[in-house]
Chains A and B, each alone.
Chain A
Amino acid sequence: MTARYLIIGSGVAGLAAAEAIRQADRSAAITLVSDDPHGYYSRPGLAYLLTGEIPQAQLFPLRETDWRALGLQRVTAQVTRLEPAAHRAVLADGRALSYDRLLLATGSTAARLTVPGSDLPQVVTLDSLTDAQRILDLARRARAAVVVGGGITALELVEGLRVHCRRVHYLLRGDRYWSNVLDAAESRLVLERLAAEGVQVHPRSEIAEITAHRGRVAGVTTTAGEHIPCDLVAVAIGVQPRVGLARAAGLQVERGILVDETLRTGAADIYAAGDAAQVYDPRTGKATLDTLWNIARGQGAVAGRNMAGANERYIKPLPLNVTRLAGITTTIIGRVGHGLDADVVGIARGDSETWRQLGEALVAEDASEVNRLRLLVGPRTLIGAIVMGDQRPSRPLQRLIGEETDITPIRERLLAPHAPLAALLAEFAESLNRQNALS
């Protein structure tokens, strides 16, 4: 009998699961249902749509021939209810989709402000292509915009809006940007660059109210009483995993949908992957959230194979993100920070809770005017790194940290004052390459 697979969510986790199921089961009936009318596209690419680097059509990686080869039934609809015992998902129009195996890849959604005026139509968040289209539409007509929040999305909004609006204000609750991932100097570097690009940075500023004129945003008033005129307010104060369906269906939910290391929920034949999933990691004994695209892809692929009969454990790779912060290419690898960020509630997009599980480590730094390299040096291995600007050390570090390479031969030299870190790492990586080539 043909197995029926249902995937809720058309993000990368859902797509990767569909590919994995199709590879394992040529005859499977796979249905991908999503409330996003645009289906599958590169969500991280929205940042480059906002800056005008790529046109909208470029965000769609798959061509019609690719979709035909995958052989999915694609449904655009909202799922309103799950019936786990009956193995059914009920849609908003009353239709029901039956399944043998179900994947919840429902993603996450931006947290909203709660101050007065937050529900005005020119207060926006960036979750989807529809949101990006709306932001572009508003930005082209706006003279001034206010961005509030932290993490990568806040700066994507700042930089995207800067292209279209004469004035962009960026409000930070504290003095630092992304304080639980970047150190003080890195944060200062980003804020200085923003200021140099003409962005008005307002540290220690919090919105008390969004004011309106004739039903449209007219400005924001801060808790300090400052009034900033603007036509648009963009909010990036974190994301919340979309767990409503799972919770209502009686599945175990904490911050995300709880799954074991094979990405199974406690309910029969239901799996979860991507931003919505809080995945148990046997190495740490903790269940963590990640909002990284490549982690979502990996989880989707493992969930898909397991749905098709495998029993594979999900091994979380080294959390890594490469992003542009105020025009500075920045790679974040492994464990680099700790604590909370006052500008974000919970988790931001493009984020990993693992980045903040900093254990015992010493810091080695190498900085010039525009480039910074920070290494978190454990007793025997490197446990994390931030590479800003010159990206040459980025790939060797991805490997050294990911493979937990014993760095004893260079550890003392790395920790010496004013050590040329990039050169030492390049030399060490090269010597490892030579050893590997010989063995």
Chain B
Amino acid sequence: MNVLKLTPERCTGCLRCEIACSYVQTGAYQPAKSVIRVSPFEGHTSYAPYTCTQCAEGWCMTACPVGAITINGAGAKDVVDDLCVGCKLCTIACPYGTMFYDTSTRKAFKCNLCGGDPACAHACPTAAIEYEDVATADWIGDFARERVSHVLALEGAR
């Protein structure tokens, strides 16, 4: 299956992915509702996007007490809004922190790969986000490990 392949070295922190994601997912430009989130590293000199890996277990899906999370045509775990009651169990069952809750709709929401045509990958001007048929991976761990060393060193010096 195609997954979101992240190459953090190419990310400029422009946040177009968050804007595109929230627009396609909610119909409004509101990065707070984006399910891909860009984090700064090394004192805002580096950035990396982070989103659902579509993990094999699907902790959100197996935790849902009413079967409201399913697998869509793109192979992504996807919330069925009509079934979700908003109990938040998926938000604590997902060990990656990529399951969210919308206080206005009172439903859980997550990355569903836009059904197979992810807006974030289209919007990214530097190909830091690509949609490819590769195994999912920890795309940003090594990058982050390197790019927090400066901050940790400063803390240690205090």
Chains A and B bind each other: no
